[in-house]
Amino acid sequence: MSAWGPFLGLALPLFLAIIPFNIVAFQWGLLHGNKTMPDEISLKSQKMDRYAPWLRDGVLLLLVLSLRAWYSISPSQIGLRIDGWQSNLLLGILACSLQMGLQALVWRLLTSRGVHAEDESLIRRSLVRVFFSVCVEQLWMAFCVATLRLTGHSASTSVALTAAVFGVAHLQYRFGAFATALYGAVFACLFVWRGSLVPSFLMHLVGNTSAFFWARRAARRVAQP
């Protein structure tokens, strides 16, 4: 495959991050700057905000699958395989248990911080949205790691590059982007180790679902008198 294939994959989330999927907000900002939106336009913008993440993830999924077909990457090469599923499932459950314990500790230590913008974005998500997002991100990470390895890059370089881009793509979480990059490194390491998406997918899904519920719990605490 082409040496540029992995870097095309790595660039996808960065490219999609600068595309204004909320065309209503983009058009208003372009024409009116920071002026307050009228209520009617604001409601349209909020409605677009609900669908924009679905559209962004859908486009990312389509592009990843297209690159996979273009470069003739087999499903098994990006972790879509069932052999060894029992051990991969057990490893995923163990990773989930450790992650949930760490998340519980962190959220308890930060209960006094209030609800930040990144928490509010979690609260607005549905569990179906969380599941779809995890599926797309895991396929993207597997494609990037697999193609980097196929073009002669070491495992450590493949993991580091993919994790770094994963963190940069989540800069809206501010300091949380660093933690996201660390999680990305763990996901990528699990994929390199096992050659399967099962452990990293389970860890990612349970981690995002747990963060969703912890954010809602924090919001309820803040709302209490």
- Residues 25-70 have pLDDT tens digits of 888 888 888 888 888 888 888 888 888 889 999 999 999 999 999 9
Cα–Cα dist 42/27, whole Å? 12
Cα–Cα dist 142/78, whole Å? 5
What is the Cα gyration radius of the chain?
19
pTM for this model (two decimals): 0.86
Of 25 and 211, the structure prediction assigns the larger pLDDT to 25
What residues contact residue 120 under an 8 Å CB cut-off, 6+ apart? Answer: 215, 219
The answer to whether residue 192 scores a pLDDT higher than 90 is yes
The answer to whether residue 193 scores a pLDDT higher than 70 is yes
pLDDT tens digits along 122-149: 555 678 888 999 999 999 999 999 999 9
Cα–Cα dist 210/205, whole Å? 8
> Structural domain boundaries of the chain?
5-223
Q: Is 35 helix (H, G, I), strand (E, B) or coil?
A: coil
pLDDT of residue 49: 81
Could you tell me how many residues make up the chain? 225
